Amino acid sequence: MKKGLLFLILLFFQIFVYAQQDAWVYLTDKQNVETSIANPIIILTQKAIDRKNNHNVTIDERDVPVNESYITQLKNAMGITVMAKSKWFNAVHVRGNKIDIDALASLGFVTSIDFADKSLNTSKKVNQKESSKFESKLIDFSYGNAFNQINMIRGDELHLLDYTGTGMTVAVLDAGFPSVNTMAAFQRLRNAGHILDVYDFVGRDHDVYTNTTSKHGTWVLSTMAGYVENQFVGTAPDAFYYLFITEDDLSENPVEESYWVEAAERADSLGVDVINTSLGYKAYDNSNYSYTNANLDGQTAFITKGANIAFEKGLLLINSAGNEGNAGTNAPADSPNVLSVGAVNPMGTYASFSSVGSAFQPTQKPDVVAQGLASYVVDTNDVIGTLNGTSFSSPILAGGIVCLWQALPNKTNAEIMQLVRESASQYNSPDYYLGYGIPNLLAALNTGLSLDDNNEENLEEILLFPNPTSGDIYLKLPSQENAWALSFYDMLGRQVNKFLILDNTNPIDVSALVKGVYILKIESRKTSKNFKFIKK
């Protein structure tokens, strides 16, 4: 009898839950568009404006917030709960029964309604608008057990060159971040004032540290920003961070896609450079909302469409490929504008849980891989241990890419992504398991610098690369001078070698130098400069 009663209760609950539908309501217009675009400081931070200007990203109507009076009217509509909003899509995510949601079509400012359960949509289509200096300070960290996961992508060598994320801003979109405000592993980050802000888009508050339903965001953040003296160093320990909760760990519902888009919009407004997301969406509690493999085509899922706009806005998006193995990748990792990261073990071999790509995706997926099996993270009790998942290969690589972009600040998001792909271990023979392979971020940096040789803006700079080196070094010297004296000194100040070069002669063979750290003094008639470099 009790079992029968329990079944009826569960059945009633299921019917009630599924009677509540999710939908995106698209709106007609926005307020003060021309004024906002002409005076972007009204709607964006100065950092966001500067980033867009530096990368020739147009500030347009999508940057203007949703009309708040429309949102108020939707909130006051019978049976409607407003869950999220998106300025990029000029849309609001609502929840209610189908009748109440359909009734919103009578509002003059509603252009169309798109149900998450596509079988509930009418034939009317959604009306969407088409949318370096190369001088090293020798940062010598002790990575402890985390060494392998950063060394695999050569991120530690970027640290040696003093590229540790300084000046770069990262938004981490994830589940809870419990204890980040108290853990010793984030003391260095907090002392530097590098957690710029936090927000819970699910709970609609700033309380991200006491959310105990998930530790996932804390683990993810530790791979990038964690620091335990002589035991653990994240891949971008000196970057700035925003911590945003967009994942409701208690359920799977497409509103989480809307939370993600809303957070990405805020990140763009704040001038964020890189977004890491160790989340993915395909199957939902209500199977009518779920995506098929064919839907994961880089342009169908709401979150994927949002990611595509974020890319247009100049953000660099890095996302875990997923842990579904042969079941395939998730959204938004299916986007051609997202660098999706699969997982390998500590030896660099494919991890069996890592989601594979398919012909449904318009571009190679996954893009690349990093260590996701036995990845070292810091738990909420400050214990260093291992976890498995592309949830960790993604931020491990994301932190390294943050350092790469710091070193190549004039590159666009697309150029950085391509440099990473081209540096990977199987770039010329990609597959659906490893994508282009394991990136070599030092090689990506050297390629980026060599491509800059023809950039007139950099003609007056003196650059040295690669650094570290095992054999040859190359110099980029101002064209106005044709005679240069090079003097090499060890760390005790003793001169160990010298060269005279004419007409920018390259390369310079330093293979005879023993391994160690050296100072190279470069002099001409008009200028001189010192470099610290490493001979491997």
Question: Could you tell me if 184 and 287 are in contact, meaning their C-beta atoms sit under 8 angstroms apart?
Answer: no
pLDDT of residue 472: 81
Nearest Cα neighbor of 164 from 240, 218, 221, 232 is 240
- Whether 3 is in a domain gets the answer no
- Which tokens go with 252? 């799977």
Helices (H), 274-372: 302-312
- Whether 9 is in a domain gets the answer no
- Whether 101 is in a domain gets the answer yes
CA angle 264, 93, 258 (to 5 degrees): 30
Q: Does residue 411 share a domain with residue 471?
A: no
Burial annotation 106-139 (CB, 10 A radius, 16+ → b, else e): eeebbbbbbbbbeeeeeeeeeeeeeebebbbeeb
Question: Could you tell me if 420 and 340 are in contact, meaning their C-beta atoms sit under 8 angstroms apart?
Answer: no
- Whether 330 is in a domain gets the answer yes
Question: Could you tell me if 220 and 375 are in contact, meaning their C-beta atoms sit under 8 angstroms apart?
Answer: no
Residue partners of 355: CB distance under 8 A and separation at least 6: 280, 321, 322, 323, 324, 325, 327, 328, 329, 330, 333, 342, 366, 390
Say if strands 227-228 and 232-233 run parallel, antiparallel, or are unpaired.
Answer: antiparallel
Q: Does residue 375 share a domain with residue 345?
A: yes
Q: Does residue 160 share a domain with residue 108?
A: no
Q: Does residue 231 share a domain with residue 90?
A: no
Distances (CA, A) of 96 to 85, 253, 402: 16, 14, 41
Say if strands 227-228 and 91-96 run parallel, antiparallel, or are unpaired.
Answer: unpaired
Q: Does residue 155 share a domain with residue 116?
A: no
Question: Could you tell me if 143 and 150 are in contact, meaning their C-beta atoms sit under 8 angstroms apart?
Answer: yes
- Whether 4 is in a domain gets the answer no
The domain of 58 spans 16-120
Cα–Cα distance, 142 to 155 (Å, whole number): 13
Domain stops at, among 382, 416, 450: 450
Q: Does residue 102 share a domain with residue 179?
A: no
Q: Does residue 444 share a domain with residue 338?
A: yes
Q: Does residue 206 share a domain with residue 107?
A: no
Return the SS3 of 486. Answer: strand
Distances (CA, A) of 12 to 9, 15, 22, 33, 294: 5, 5, 19, 47, 33
Cα–Cα distance, 63 to 61 (Å, whole number): 5
Instruction: Report DSSP state, residue 284.
Output: -
Number of domains within the chain? 3
Return the SS3 of 208. Answer: coil
Q: What is the CATH number of the domain that holds 29?
A: 3.30.70
Cα–Cα distance, 436 to 438 (Å, whole number): 7
Q: Does residue 468 share a domain with residue 441?
A: no
Residue 453: φ, ψ to 5°: -55, -30
Domain stops at, among 415, 450, 485: 450
- Whether 82 is in a domain gets the answer yes
Domain stops at, among 120, 139, 171: 120
Cα–Cα distance, 358 to 328 (Å, whole number): 7
- Whether 142 is in a domain gets the answer no
Q: Does residue 321 share a domain with residue 350?
A: yes
Nearest Cα neighbor of 368 from 326, 427, 296 is 427
Question: Could you tell me if 142 and 382 are in contact, meaning their C-beta atoms sit under 8 angstroms apart?
Answer: no
- Burial class (CB within 10 angstroms; exposed 0-12, middle 13-18, buried 19+) of 232: buried
pTM here is 0.79
Q: Does residue 384 share a domain with residue 360?
A: yes
Cis peptide before 507 (omega within 30 of 0): yes
Residue 4: φ, ψ to 5°: -65, -40
Cα–Cα distance, 175 to 359 (Å, whole number): 30
- Whether 129 is in a domain gets the answer no
Cα–Cα distance, 355 to 390 (Å, whole number): 8
pLDDT of residue 15: 46
Please list the pLDDT of the chain residue by residue as tens digits (536 residues): 444 444 444 444 444 445 799 999 999 999 999 999 999 999 999 999 999 998 889 999 999 999 999 999 999 999 999 999 999 999 999 999 999 999 999 999 999 999 999 999 864 433 333 333 333 344 568 899 999 999 999 999 899 888 999 999 999 999 999 999 999 999 999 999 999 999 999 999 999 998 778 999 999 999 999 999 999 999 999 999 999 999 999 999 999 999 999 999 999 999 999 999 999 999 999 999 999 999 999 999 999 999 999 999 999 999 999 999 999 999 999 999 999 999 999 999 999 999 999 999 999 999 999 999 999 999 999 999 999 999 999 999 999 999 999 999 999 999 999 999 999 999 999 999 999 999 999 999 988 887 765 444 444 567 777 878 878 887 777 766 677 788 888 766 777 888 777 766 667 888 888 887 788 888 877 777 777 778 77
Residue partners of 138: CB distance under 8 A and separation at least 6: 160, 162, 517, 532, 534
Q: Does residue 152 share a domain with residue 94?
A: no
Question: Could you tell me if 224 and 152 are in contact, meaning their C-beta atoms sit under 8 angstroms apart?
Answer: no
Return the SS3 of 494. Answer: coil
User: Largest alpha-carbon pair distance within the chain?
Assistant: 97
Cα–Cα distance, 144 to 79 (Å, whole number): 55
Q: What is the CATH number of the domain that holds 165?
A: 3.40.50.200
Length of the chain: 536
Q: What is the CATH number of the domain that holds 521?
A: 2.60.40.1930
Q: Whose structure tokens read 């003094």? A: 521
Cα–Cα distance, 165 to 236 (Å, whole number): 5
